[in-house]
């Protein structure tokens, strides 16, 4: 296998395997997971197609964002990317009968996001080389994974908590946008001011701290909540306090 293709695809496969194997109670059907993954790939294609069309017609909707790291991160990456992932997730999964447990929302959101990350990663790695592949395997791909865990967590909360549905659905869109936007803002700022040693040191520390925090939030959403009903599991508990499901089984 081509080493560039391998380094592009391997982190995606590892993270998909990790989330799939964590869904221990009732595994999601393979066909539906594949469909959701390909729709994630389609998100990347649609975004590429859109920038191609913009180039042809000469109208750039987000041109105003070009010179600011914050605006660029939010308007050219976080909002369109997380927005389209969210729309596909909603369209394919919200009313699907397989979406019957809290953890399913996280599983499907990760499959959409990894479809996107897979196509984006192949494009970046084939133009940037093996070193780009290593950096993206450690940072960008896990980043997309964690934004999806956050999206899926709120998506499921919205589905199974009818009382606060509207607010939670907005959270399922806005929280990953915020995480993704801040992540990219730090990346773009590091690129802009990378040469200034003092500032680049501060930015690197901030970026590492932000990554650690994202992992903490993501792993908490995966491990500290009941996979069936989403209730928080207190430390040392054997059963879910809400649905009484054995924690070891989930
Ligand atoms: Zn439970």
Tell me the β-bridge partners of 225. 232
Distance 36 CA to ligand 1 centre (A): 26
CA 51 to ligand 1 center in whole angstroms: 44
Tell me how far the alpha carbon of residue 157 lies from the centroid of ligand 1, in angstroms.
Answer: 12
115, 38 Cβ separation under 8 angstroms? yes
Going from the Cα of 110 to the center of ligand 1, the distance in angstroms, rounded, reads 21
pLDDT, tens digit (0-9, with 9 covering 90-100), for 100-135:
999 999 999 999 999 999 999 999 999 999 999 999
Cα(232) to ligand 1 centroid in Å equals 8
pLDDT digits (tens, 9 = 90+) for 36-91: 999 999 999 999 999 889 888 888 888 888 888 899 999 999 999 999 999 999 99
C-alpha span between 232 and 234 (Å, rounded): 6
Q: What is the pLDDT of residue 196?
A: 65
Burial of 28 (0-12, 13-18, 19+ CB in 10 A): buried
| pTM beyond 0.85, yes or no | yes
Q: Which are the contacts of 180, defined by CB distance < 8 A and separation ≥ 6?
A: 73, 77, 78, 81, 82, 143, 147
What's the gap in Å between 237 CA and the centre of ligand 1? 12
Residue 96 Cα to ligand 1 middle (Å): 21
Q: Could you tell me the distance, in angstroms and rounded to a whole number, from the CA of residue 145 to the centre of ligand 1?
A: 24
Q: 250 C-alpha vs ligand 1 centroid, how far in Å?
A: 9
CA of 228 to the centre of ligand 1 (A): 5
* 216 Cα: distance to centroid of ligand 1 (angstroms): 21
- pLDDT value for 237: 86
pLDDT one-digit tens code per residue, 152-207: 999 999 999 989 999 999 999 999 999 999 999 999 888 887 666 778 888 889 99
**Residue 2 scores a pLDDT above 80:** yes
Q: At what angle do helices 197-223 and 165-193 cross, to 10 degrees?
A: 150
Q: In angstroms, what is the span from residue 102 Cα to ligand 1's centroid?
A: 9
Cβ neighbors of 153 (< 8 A, separation 6 or more) are 105, 106, 172, 221, 225
CA 141 to ligand 1 center in whole angstroms: 30
Confidence of residue 249 (pLDDT cuts 50, 70, 90): low
């Amino acid at each position: 296998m081509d080493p560039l293709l391998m380094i592009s695809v391997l982190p995606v496969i590892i993270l998909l395997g990790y989330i799939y194997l964590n869904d221990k109670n009732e595994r999601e059907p393979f066909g539906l997971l594949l469909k959701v993954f390909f729709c994630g790939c389609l998100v990347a294609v649609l975004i590429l197609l859109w920038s191609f069309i913009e180039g042809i017609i000469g109208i750039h909707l987000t041109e105003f964002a070009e010179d600011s790291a914050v605006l660029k991160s939010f308007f050219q990456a976080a909002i369109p990317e997380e927005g389209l992932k969210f729309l596909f997730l909603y369209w394919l999964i919200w009313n699907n009968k397989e979406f019957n447990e809290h953890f399913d929302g996280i599983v499907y959101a990760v499959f959409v996001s990894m479809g996107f990350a897979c196509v984006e990663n192949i494009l970046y790695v084939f133009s940037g080389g093996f070193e780009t592949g290593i950096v993206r395997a450690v940072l960008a791909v896990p980043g997309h994974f964690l934004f999806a865990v956050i999206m899926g967590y709120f998506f499921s909360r919205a589905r199974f908590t009818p009382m606060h549905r509207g607010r939670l659905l907005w959270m399922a869109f806005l929280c990953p946008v915020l995480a993704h936007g801040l992540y990219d803002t730090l990346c773009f700022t590091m690129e802009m001011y990378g040469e200034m040693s003092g500032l680049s040191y501060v930015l690197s520390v901030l970026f590492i701290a932000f990554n650690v925090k994202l992992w903490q939030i993501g792993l908490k959403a995966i491990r500290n909540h009941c996979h069936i009903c989403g209730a928080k599991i207190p430390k040392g508990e054997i059963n879910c306090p809400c649905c009484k499901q054995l924690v070891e089984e989930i």
